[in-house]
């Protein structure tokens, strides 16, 4: 059909254009016409892994094609399953309006959904009072408790096997990378402990209604079947950055050493752990061992607890 004009041979190629509405305008127009939906201006939303745009009151997510190096069919299936699972558990997430694929220069899978309710955590957090942050922490824990349950097979990765196979961890000392691999090789996860995890509860994927403090979630493409600690570690370190009111709401009367244990266990496994630790406790060249990682996590968590 000639709707998409750009060459995609690698992830680097995709990164150059995936957040540019002009690059996808003919494709998006075709998708909306095909689904008999009103077409409007195509606007950029916060960039992620896939091409996500606002079109009127709707959002269209176009998944990176396999030529970009992504498991496109798997990501599409996981996203769809995750949104339906959330709905079934009473968790707020946008309704899916339409989904399908377009055969063009590449195969593009897509999901069209309603806009998320509220404003992203990233844009809301600094405006919240201590008590409001406490409530947000409590409500996110309630959401996680609803989501983090056994569910049917949805094609997710084995998180430990994936972590072992992906050992790039760019910038980390070789001593740390070797210690990480050794610990991963010894991990034995009880299959009975595995539950559905959103997998990417960062500040762009949690939305807050500013008046009611009702929460909703987006972007389930990184969902996995793993112990709840996989979810909680990212929430503590990346989303909450150990900020005390959020932590108290989510974990209750928490003990810092236990939170450090949680993060030191699961962030080296987590798909985003490499980048979360880099942002929170770098510089990377100094993280030569797990002991150093734990020490820095403890220092950061303690400093945030002391600010209450």
pLDDT tens for each residue of 156-207:
788 998 898 887 898 999 999 999 999 999 998 887 789 999 999 999 999 9
Diameter of the chain measured on Cα atoms = 60
pLDDT of residue 158: 86
| Distance, CA of 273 to CA of 103 (rounded, Å) | 35
Who contacts 295 (Cβ-Cβ below 8 Å, separation ≥6)? none
What fold is seen in the domain 119-305? Aminoglycoside 3'-phosphotransferase; Chain: A, domain 2 (3.90.1200)
pLDDT tens digits along 79-120: 999 999 999 999 999 999 999 999 999 999 999 999 999 999
How many angstroms separate the CA atoms of 104 and 89, rounded? 36
Write down the pLDDT at residue 308: 56
In this prediction, residue 69 carries a pLDDT of: 86
**What count of Cα atoms within 13 Å lies in the side-chain half-sphere of residue 15?**
4
Q: Are 297 and 303 in contact (CB under 8 A)?
A: no
**Residue 72: predicted pLDDT:** 65
Domain boundaries, the chain: 11-114, 119-305
d(CA 145, CA 137): 12
CA 8 – CA 29 distance, rounded (Å): 20
Task: Tell me the whole-structure pTM to 2 decimals.
Answer: 0.93
Q: Does domain 11-114 have CATH number 3.30.43.10?
A: no
In whole numbers, what is the pLDDT of the chain averaged over residues? 94
Average pLDDT of the segment spanning 218-241? 96
């Amino acid at each position: 059909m000639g709707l998409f004009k750009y060459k995609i041979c690698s992830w680097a190629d995709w990164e150059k254009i995936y957040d540019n509405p002009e690059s996808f305008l003919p494709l998006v127009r075709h998708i909306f016409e095909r689904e008999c939906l009103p077409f409007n201006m195509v606007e950029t939303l916060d960039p992620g892994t896939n091409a996500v745009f606002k079109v009127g009151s709707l959002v269209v997510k176009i998944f990176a094609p396999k030529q970009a190096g992504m498991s496109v069919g798997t990501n599409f299936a996981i996203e769809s399953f995750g949104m339906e699972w959330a709905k079934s558990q009473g968790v707020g997430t946008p309704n899916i309006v339409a989904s399908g694929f377009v055969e063009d220069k590449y195969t593009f899978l897509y999901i069209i959904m309603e806009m998320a309710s509220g404003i992203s955590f990233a844009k809301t957090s600094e405006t919240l009072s201590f008590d409001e942050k406490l409530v947000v922490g409590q409500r996110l824990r309630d959401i996680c408790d609803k989501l983090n349950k056994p569910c049917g097979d949805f094609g997710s990765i084995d998180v430990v096997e994936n972590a072992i196979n992906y050992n790039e961890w760019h910038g980390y000392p070789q001593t740390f990378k070797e210690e990480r691999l050794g610990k991963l090789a010894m991990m034995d996860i009880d299959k009975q402990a595995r539950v559905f995890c959103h997998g990417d509860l960062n500040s762009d994927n949690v939305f807050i209604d500013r008046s009611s403090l009702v929460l909703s979630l987006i972007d389930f493409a990184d969902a996995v079947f793993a112990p709840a600690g996989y979810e909680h570690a990212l929430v503590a370190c990346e989303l909450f950055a150990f900020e005390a009111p959020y932590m108290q709401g989510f974990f209750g009367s928490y003990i810092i050493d236990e939170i450090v244990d949680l993060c030191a266990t699961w962030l080296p496994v987590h798909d985003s752990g490499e980048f979360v630790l880099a942002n929170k406790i770098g510089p990377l060249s100094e993280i030569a061992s797990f002991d150093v990682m734990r020490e820095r996590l403890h220092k950061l968590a303690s400093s945030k607890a002391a600010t209450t």
